[in-house]
Amino acid sequence: MTPVGIGLLGLGRWGRNYLKTLSALPECRLVAAADPDPAAREAAAGPAGIAKYGSAIQLFSDPAVKAVIIATPDYSHFKLAAAALSMGHDVLVEKPMTLSSDEAEQLVKQADDKGLVLGVGHTAVYSTDIEALRIRLGAAPDEQQRVIAERTSSGPSPLRQSPIAGRPAAIIYDLCPHDIALGVLLFGAPGAARANANGKKVEYEVRFGRGETLAGRAEWREPPHVRRFEVADSPGNGVPPSTSPLPQGRGNKREGAEAVSFVDIRETPLGLQCLDFIESCRIRRQMTSSGPVGMSVV
């Protein structure tokens, strides 16, 4: 099996996570990386022989690049993904895939028209047992189906603030897409949504086609952080609430005076997401976290 040649666009904090993950997966070959910041290019380690570029067009034009991963700020996602698709590359773009529904629809149509893979980076999709949640929800088919989500984080660094006037890096774009993507995979495309937000907290509700509800909350705050996505208890259904934990990989002990735990990259949410993208490119299928899922989230 020939490894898929991948180009990585964006070498910031999350881009470096991709760099480390892709470098450890034999199913792909990380052939190129790009970032306009020379310091970021210099600091980014990578496999021997990796090409480093200062612009997206240089990376897209590299003949060794067959698929592109876009880990740049959200305001740049649409233009970069559209350009990569126009040059015939399969694309995995970080969430949110775009900042408007029209742009999301354009990307999905563009990928469909060209027969290309379009995926979106919702790592929570790869850290949750979705099938177990479907079984729990199916255990009470006559009840009003409802899930509850909560997600907190320390918040973005100043370097991640959006330069778009009037729109700082918004929590609803940063944290909420993960859990909304899970709701889409469980219930299908949303029918309606509403949210109350300030700079540090958002409470939202998403309603789906058969009346299912996702009630969510996200907040910037100090650790410890919360990751919760569970089936809400319904009176009389006999099924208690169940949290779907986020696995951290297998903990193992190495020989030596002290026990040291480590994580198999292949079993992390990001590793599983990358493997899904690579296999989708190889056999020409949609990812679990597909372009249409990302469009529904937007």
What pLDDT digit, counting tens, does each position of 34-65 carry? 999 999 999 998 898 999 999 999 999 999 99
Check residue 233 and give its pLDDT: 67
Which are the contacts of 65, defined by CB distance < 8 A and separation ≥ 6?
Answer: 5, 6, 7, 31, 32, 59, 89
Q: In angstroms, what CA-CA distances link 50 with 63, 199, 271?
A: 13, 40, 20
Are 34 and 53 within 8 A, CB to CB? yes
Record the tokens describing residue 91, joined without a space.
Answer: 């694309």
Does residue 260 have a pLDDT over 50?
no
Are 4 and 28 within 8 A, CB to CB? yes
Average pLDDT over residues 245-272: 59
Record the tokens describing residue 237, joined without a space.
Answer: 């259904």
Record the tokens describing residue 287, joined without a space.
Answer: 């990812």
Check residue 256 and give its pLDDT: 42
* C-alpha span between 167 and 137 (Å, rounded): 37
pLDDT class for 241, splitting at 50, 70, 90? very low
Q: What percent of the chain has pLDDT over 90?
A: 74
Question: Which helix H or strand E contains 57, and what residues bound it?
Answer: helix 56-61
* C-alpha span between 35 and 59 (Å, rounded): 10
pTM (2 d.p.): 0.88
Query: Could you tell me how many residues make up the chain?
Result: 298
Check residue 263 and give its pLDDT: 72
Check residue 155 and give its pLDDT: 81
Question: Which helix H or strand E contains 23, and what residues bound it?
Answer: helix 13-23
* C-alpha span between 20 and 69 (Å, rounded): 13
β strands within the chain, DSSP E: 4-9, 28-34, 51-53, 67-70, 90-94, 118-121, 146-153, 190-197, 201-208, 213-220, 227-231, 242-243
